[in-house]
Structure 1
């Protein structure tokens, strides 16, 4: 192939251009995007089975786990808050 035309308008596109009369044959015009010529980065996939096998080695940074373990009664917490508010309001009077 003697004649290659480069264009930045289309990503990956080749055509025979009969209107370019440079020699005795029909030249091929090739257009491509330089990004498509690069080797794509390997995608990292999460393997759930490997996570389950290494569960004892993983560090859990779940900040809500103490809330799950705590035995919290909503009524008891509300009563404690109400008592604290009344005590502070009496102290400020």
Structure 2
């Protein structure tokens, strides 16, 4: 499976989460599996992906404890990460 396909899967599950079709924990689990499947990512992007998943997971635990949590910063980081990976894919496809 190509990296582009995997990124589309991440975006699709994120969309399902935003519509309430997936729990945050289900999205995080899927996200982690898809990140591992990506090939040729620079190490800093892998570290960032793990950090985002960890922050979202802590948020999910807080929600389970009935705490008010702002997931917007983590989701903004996820948006930026997806954009970075897509740009990398474009650059790699031109090589």
Whether TM exceeds 0.5 here: the answer is no
Which one scores higher on RCO, CA 8 angstroms, separation ≥ 6?
2
Q: Name whichever structure is richer in strand by fraction.
A: 1
With the length of structure 2 as denominator, give the TM-score of the two structures. Answer: 0.23
With the length of structure 1 as denominator, give the TM-score of the two structures. Answer: 0.23
The structure number with the bigger radius of gyration is 1
